[in-house]
Amino acid sequence: MKVVVLGAGVVGTAAAWFLSKNGHDVTVVEREPAAGLETSFANGGQVSPCHAEPWANPGTPLQALKWMGRADAPLVFKWWRYDPQLWAWLVRFLANCTAGRTRINLDRTLRVAIYSRDCLQALRAETGISYDEKTLGILHVYRNAQTFAHAQGASAVMASLGLKRDVKTVAEAVAIEPALQSVAHELTGAIFTPDDESGDAHKFTQELAKLATKNGVLFAFNTTVTGFQREGDRVTAVVTDRGEIKGDAYLMAMGSWSAPWAKQLGLALPVYPAKGYSATLAVTDAAKAPSVSVTDDEHKMVYSRLGDRLRCAGTAELAGWNDTMTPVRAAAIVKNAKALFPGAGDFDGAELWCGLRPTTPDSVPLLGKTPLTNFYLDTGHGTLGWTMSCGSGKAVADLISGRAPDIDMNGLGIERF
Ligand SMILES: Cc1cc2nc3c(=O)[nH]c(=O)nc-3n(C[C@H](O)[C@H](O)[C@H](O)COP(=O)(O)OP(=O)(O)OC[C@H]3O[C@@H](n4cnc5c(N)ncnc54)[C@H](O)[C@@H]3O)c2cc1C
């Protein structure tokens, strides 16, 4: 079967790999000159089922109100700006902030995330792919006793869903990651997820694209999707600025851009961009930079050591399909990083970047079938697209191939909206 994958971010590239492994003739359409150049370019680097707790949870509305008015807050949105798509998304988001919905959404996200981590490990063992990966776990540090207590409760729930998460004292946390020593007095505790990982999503995407090419996948770079041809309930071609590309099946993996383009096919995908920022700096003192990937709960920031670089990432700005950098927010990333790991690297020379997380109101990705019989979804991965890329790709590739995916796909599709 000929399958056309739309988008060569980490999600589309992983899907293309698994589709080719299932024996299909795969073409990936990508507007950039190479794979992984948009949101998958400089993310936080964490392969983190431990972060499966949805953004929409009972504590978020109050927290968001407290953050309002602070330009450097971890979450910023201007609800008064004319943006009906944001308002519709926010209404659904609030509906998902109940304890019951949070539990359901956690279960769904964790199902994909844990499976995905297994798929990534299997892919690595099979291919030897290397991408500055580290398999040292993720250490989540807390400064606030109340938040730490809440996190311990969430840990128990996640443990019941199959995720190993160990509660640690500050001394134990510093023993796991000695670079935290200088801020130990500010911390109240930590949670360690020993099986989580980190690595450079961009490097991974590029390396996987090379392996996929060797496996017969054709990457049509510098090719922009501009529309679709459709007959009844089937898509017959994707229209691009370089002509039509026909396939037997089509997979939407265009990240935040999936929503506006799927709309052309009459599909209303509740995917809204949440802009995030990162700073990547050269490590100048290895002892002061973390080796274990760290999450700082208070500032909602993550840190991953990528070879001799330190990636620092965070913040969410709900400001539409717009990837302009706001200097104050980029500066906040560097300031927080410098405070947590003083002397670790060249903070003044940090490379700043921002990208649009393709976010759904319930934090669960959109995977699988649509009302169009040959058009499938692999999008809406939000904060966990790198984490969930391999598992989503394999599950969707199996579905397209007429095989039963290894995970239960219930609750992961567009039908839940
Ligand atoms: C600051 C930040 C930190 C993050 N940290 C983490 C983390 O630590 N761990 C984690 O798991 N996730 C993290 N994420 C989320 C993760 O990066 C995303 O979920 C993931 O990159 C989404 O991948 P994607 O392939 O769906 O989208 P993208 O990487 O955006 O890929 C979509 C592709 O579609 C292409 N495209 C779009 N429109 C068209 C068109 N019309 N024609 C042709 N091609 C088109 C784009 O060029 C792009 O290459 C973070 C995100 C940000 C912003």
Task: Tell me, using a 6 A CB cutoff, whether residue 378 lines ligand 1.
Answer: no
- With a 6 Å cutoff on the Cβ, whether 9 touches ligand 1 is yes
Choose the residue to mutate in 138, 383, 389 for probing ligand 1, maximizing ligand atoms within 8 Å of C-beta: 383
Whether 7 maps to a domain, the answer reads yes
Q: Are residues 208 and 338 in the same domain?
A: no
Confidence category of residue 205, pLDDT binned at 50, 70, 90: very high
**Contact 254 CB / ligand 1 (< 6 Å):** yes
Pocket flag, ligand 1, residue 385 (CB < 6 Å)? yes
Q: Which atom of ligand 1 is nearest to the CA of 226?
A: 41
Ligand 1 centroid–CA 124 distance in Å is 21
If residue 374 lies in a helix (H) or strand (E), which one and from where to where? Answer: none
The reply to whether ligand 1 has any atom less than 6 angstroms from the CB of 393 is: no
Whole-angstrom Cα distance, residue 156 to residue 136? Answer: 21
Q: How many domains does the chain have?
A: 2
Q: Which of 359, 375, 406 is the last residue before a domain boundary?
A: 359
Q: Which CATH number does the domain housing residue 373 bear?
A: 3.50.50.60
| Cβ–ligand 1 contact at 116 (below 6 Å) | no
What is the pLDDT, as a whole number, of residue 245?
98
Q: How far is the CA of 384 from the centre of ligand 1 (A)?
A: 10
pLDDT for residue 142: 97
Torsion of CA 57, 62, 65, 71, to 10 degrees: -60
User: Among 317, 343, 359, where does a domain finish?
Assistant: 359
253 CB near ligand 1 (under 6 Å): yes
Residue 89: inside a domain: no
Centre of ligand 1 from the C-alpha of residue 245, in Å = 23
Whichever domain contains 144, its CATH number is 3.30.9.10
Q: Is 28 in the pocket of ligand 1 (CB under 6 A)?
A: no
Which positions ≥6 away from 254 have C-beta within 8 Å?
Answer: 6, 7, 9, 12, 225, 261, 379
User: How far is the centre of ligand 1, averaged over its atoms, from the C-alpha of 356 (Å)?
Assistant: 7
CA distance 293 to 304: 5
For a ligand 1 pocket test, name from 17, 277, 386 the mutation site with the most ligand atoms within 8 angstroms of its C-beta.
386
Give the list of residues 6+ apart from residue 366 with CB closer than 8 angstroms, or none: 258, 269, 271, 360, 377, 378, 379, 380, 412, 413, 414
Please name the residue whose Cα sits nearest to atom 1 of ligand 1. Answer: 276
Q: Is the same domain home to 235 and 137? A: no
* Domain assignment present for 277: yes
- pLDDT per residue over 32-61, tens digit each? 999 999 999 999 999 999 999 999 999 888
**Whether 323 and 209 share a structural domain:** no
Query: What's this model's pTM, rounded to 2 decimal places?
Result: 0.97
What are the tens digits of pLDDT across the range 355-388? 999 999 999 999 999 999 999 999 999 999 999 9
Question: Closest residue (by CA) to atom 16 of ligand 1?
Answer: 385
> Does residue 107 lie within any of the structural domains?
no
183: left (phi over 0), alpha (psi -120 to 50) or beta: alpha
User: Is 238 found in the same domain as 258?
Assistant: yes
Same domain, 240 and 375: yes
pLDDT at 79: 75
Relative orientation angle of helices 201-214 and 385-400, to the nearest 10 degrees:
30
Residue 371 lies in a domain: yes
- Residues 240-299: tens digit of each pLDDT: 999 999 999 999 999 999 999 999 999 999 999 999 999 999 999 999 999 999 999 999
In a domain, 68, yes or no: yes
Pocket of ligand 1 contains residue 317 by CB under 6 Å: no
Q: Which atom of ligand 1 is nearest the CA belonging to 302? A: 8
- State the pLDDT at residue 299: 92
The pLDDT value given to residue 10? 98
Q: Which of 359, 379, 395 is the last residue of a domain?
A: 359
pLDDT, tens digit, 9 for 90 and up, residues 94-118: 999 999 999 999 999 999 999 999 9
Same domain for 142 and 76, yes or no, is: yes
In a domain? residue 92: no
Do residues 265 and 288 share a domain?
no
| Domain interval for residue 223 | 2-40+203-270+363-416
36 alpha carbon – ligand 1 mean position (Å): 7
Residue 108 belongs to some domain of the structure: no
Ligand 1 atom 3, closest CA: 43
- Specify the DSSP class assigned to residue 186: G
The C-alpha R_g of the chain, in whole angstroms, comes to 20
Report helix, strand or coil for 377: strand
Q: Tell me, what's the pLDDT at 9?
A: 98
Quote the CA–CA distance of 32 and 199 in Å, as a whole number: 22
